[in-house]
Structure 1
Amino acid sequence: MKWFADQAQQAKSLWEQILVFFTGKKIAVLGPRASGKTTLITFLLNGELPEEYFATAKPEKIAGRKVRLGDLALTVQAVTDVPGDTQSHAEWERQYNAADIAFYMVDASKIHAGDDTYIKLITGEMRHIGEWLESRKQKPPKFFLVATHCDLIPDYASLASSRVTGFKDAFWKAPVLQQLIFLAGGSKHVKCAAGSLRDANGSNELVGEILHQVIA
């Protein structure tokens, strides 16, 4: 968030656009276990990353708070952290149907490695999301497909910063990602972001990329 704060302090119109986009909105963050949902929520609320990973076992209420970026602020009213297992899909559907903005998070390293079991899982989940989208086609939520754990991909981790964009462009063109985008409503409806939540720098960059997608 510090990265975006620096940008916003220089041009507050950027922050105003973010506020307009998010004010009064309900956001659903969905995805399988270990995709980074809780990590992202914790980072956004506290500016910190969890020291250890614990899978969310049941829906957990998290108190809202005011997120500050310098002299800028965004108030988060309340958060419900939902498990990523298949038994929670009914709760996912409720969260999705109530949301103005929906995120679906995936593990980029498993997709890049061609993990068939994982690919089958996320494809099935995206089919469900596509069905929910169909029932809301008159007023669909804004949809973001967020790929995390890019730092676990050796080809990505060794890249110079000037070549990261090219890697991401190629990543999103992979057939499995194109299918996910199609199932979620197509490229005109889905915005994509990829990166890492391993450390503060990577998290700042990923959040910055998401926020740029918001105002793009």
Structure 2
Amino acid sequence: MLIHPWDAARDDDEWRGWLRTRDFGQLAVNGVDGAAPVVVPTHFLYDGDAEVLLHLARPNPIWAALEANPAVVVSVHDDYAYIPTSWRSDSPVTGVPTSYYAAVQLVCQAEIVDDREGKAEILRRQLAHHQPAGDHGEVAADAGPYHRNLSAIRGLRLRVAEVRAKFKYDDHRQAELHERVARGLAERDLPGDAGALNQQRRRRATAP
């Protein structure tokens, strides 16, 4: 992912705060023997520091790819909007359209978890995160509503080695352009426009 200096996260708190409210993304793994990459959309649990936990069905094609190469990327993007030519210039001849978006990529080393207690622990922590009301029953390797299904899944423990974070909202452009784009996003109000507008305003308000 290309990250210009003006699009980079200002600090770790910025991307961590953004990612804290997002727990669905794509897990990308290199294909085996030159095949296309394996990309799996999935919920996950990130501890905010060094570890990502998730589980997937045993028949998932990702396992062979992971066994061949445990390097993976967890990719999350949101708050995106298409910015048309006329919003970025007074003249449609000179204007250049672009995309606004926020994206975080966690580059990780994967460890496959196959023992029952290890899988139960991952499931327990995921359910506590995704269903915090506690309506998930007991989660144990040999009891509760899930233990008979543990053989149908495999767990993944991902150790974060690198973080790539990008907030692409024309930070390097003049205030006049920001104001024109902000008006356009507010008036158009397509899905994603409100999130992009909020990020654009936040970045402007916190600019050094």
Q: What range describes the TM-score normalised by the shorter chain of this pair?
A: under 0.3
Structure with more strand by fraction: 2
Kindly indicate which of the two structures has a greater share of residues assigned to helix: 1
Q: TM-score if structure 1 supplies the norm length? A: 0.24
Relative to the length of structure 2, the TM-score reads 0.25
The structure with the largest alpha-carbon Rg is 2
